[in-house]
Amino acid sequence: MSTQLYRPTPRYDLLRTPFIGRLLRWRWGRLVGQLLFLCVALLMLYDGFTGPRLAPTNLATVLTWVHYRGFVMFALLLAGNLFCMNCPFTLPRTLARRISGRSQRRWPRWLRNKWTAVTILVIYFWLYEWLDLWASPWLTAWIIVAYFLASFILEVFFAESPFCKYVCPLGTFNFVSSTVSPLHITVRDQNTCRTCVGKECVNGNGDVLGCGTELFAPQMKSNLDCVLCLDCARACPYENVALAWRNPLAEVRRPDAWPRRWDVNVLVWVFAFISLSNAFGMVPPVYQLETWLAAVLHTRSEGIVLAVIFGVLNVLLPVGLSLGAAWVSRRLAGRREPLRVTLSRYTPALLPLTFAIWFAHYAGFHFLTSALAIVPVLQNFLLDVGIHVFGQPNWALGPVLPANWMDPLELVVLLVGVAASLDVLNGRSRAAADKFAAQLPWLLLLLLLAVAAMVVMYLPMEMRGTVFG
């Protein structure tokens, strides 16, 4: 292995730090993380299928709907896509590849886009609300089983990790959110890549597979589709791959970071509106709206009523408003270009605010008001399996911070998100030499989203996950 070509271009490379760097580069590093998560998943499955039926007392529901979502938001904010890095659902991949041998096919060309991911994301959040997934340990456990099965089956039949890249709603959530994360894959020296013959980072080197989602490290400008598995770093014979720190807004500011595609733009807009509708599903006005709509539609099916509400909120509004804003923006800019290009220019400005809404909701509200609930839930689990040394559960445990801190905290998070989004919006407009007026429709939309988020967050919200709640 040669290190002659080493030129430390990225200033802060986590792979070069003394202990963490070695651990990350270690061939079995990811496997250790995945096995740890697999143990947690097995515990959740066991408790989900056999444990208490009351959701806030069951490991499957509390760990999934309180802790997973909270930790994921903190990880994305402070580092990057750490869940996908340690994802246990892809563990049976090796077995799947053995079973399939060399008979794997390419994922169909017409599915190689984000339309499937958008559709699954919309359906997933609809099912979450309709079936009250957060309230059912049994259904939560079945979802975990479904993830393992779907990942395994797709790995048997197709090359290029289509489950992660095109299907998994958790992956989609993490991919989009990690575009404002501070860690990203890059290379230390582009010249080394130019003369590199094997391109092992993407092709693999015999011992280590190359990039499962077929990203090419020297050309990466975005965290989209990067599961942070670090196989590229392990496979590169020149140790030329870096896991570098960056300004979290660097990617969304960069005009050429994302492909100018309809599916990518729609994904971001839908993701933004789901951040609102998901919180809206937990506040009192949604129940009044459901009652009214059920009467109007002459139906008693909550599934139909919620399908209408979420169809409007998660599909019609984001698509209609973003296209409308793009059309007005193009006219105000006096440009003659495809609408897709105008939309692509300004869509990334939405990301900081969107991330802030998710963060305020999942990390701020649910996690910080319920994180300690894991203590009595674990005590209860141990009692159920006959271990009595940790005493009786104290079900009043839950909040990490006083409840009256939550509103101001969420407000601060949302204001930071708005400020960052406005900064990106202005930067992208100036980079394109657009007139200031071209920003106005986007500005209006951002402010509308921010105000809607603040109103929803300030309404009394269901505390899903604690007995106390």
376-392 residues labelled b (16+ CB within 10 A) or e (exposed): bbbbbbeeeeeeeeeee
What contacts 160, CB < 8 A, 6 or more positions away?
106, 107, 212, 213, 214
CB of 183 to ligand SF4, least distance (A): 10
What contacts 32, CB < 8 A, 6 or more positions away?
none
Is the CB of 45 or the CB of 232 nearer to ligand SF4?
232
Is the CB of 93 or the CB of 366 nearer to ligand SF4?
93
Is the CB of 140 or the CB of 186 nearer to ligand SF4?
186
Is the CB of 164 or the CB of 446 nearer to ligand SF4?
164
Tokens representing residue 204 in the block: 């693999």
What is residue 334's three-state secondary structure? coil
CB of 211 to ligand SF4, least distance (A): 3
Tokens 């169809």 found at: 311
CB of 117 to ligand SF4, least distance (A): 16
Binding string, residues 228-247; x marks residues near ligand SF4 by CB under 6 A: xxxxx---x-x-xx------
Q: Point out which span in 123-131, 221-229, 311-319, 333-341 binds ligand SF4 (CB under 6 A).
A: 221-229
CB of 203 to ligand SF4, least distance (A): 8
What is the DSSP secondary structure assignment for residue 395, as one 8-state letter? T
Is the CB of 73 or the CB of 232 nearer to ligand SF4?
232
* Cα 7 off chain centre by: 33
* Cα 166 off chain centre by: 13
Cβ–Cβ under 8 Å, residues 172 and 120: yes
> Cα dihedral sign for 276, 80, 348, 127?
negative
**Residues 344-403 close enough to bind ligand SF4 by CB under 6 A:** none
Tokens representing residue 295 in the block: 């009467």
Q: How many residues bind ligand SF4 (CB under 6 A)?
A: 24
d(CA 270, CA 272): 5
Q: Point out which span in 102-110, 122-130, 226-234, 349-357 binds ligand SF4 (CB under 6 A).
A: 226-234
Binding string, residues 174-213; x marks residues near ligand SF4 by CB under 6 A: -----------x-x----xx--x--xxx---------x-x
Tokens representing residue 329 in the block: 């923006």
Is the CB of 82 or the CB of 349 nearer to ligand SF4?
82
In the complex, which residues of this chain contact ligand SF4 (CB under 6 A)? 185, 187, 192-193, 196, 199-201, 211, 213, 215, 217-218, 226-232, 236, 238, 240-241
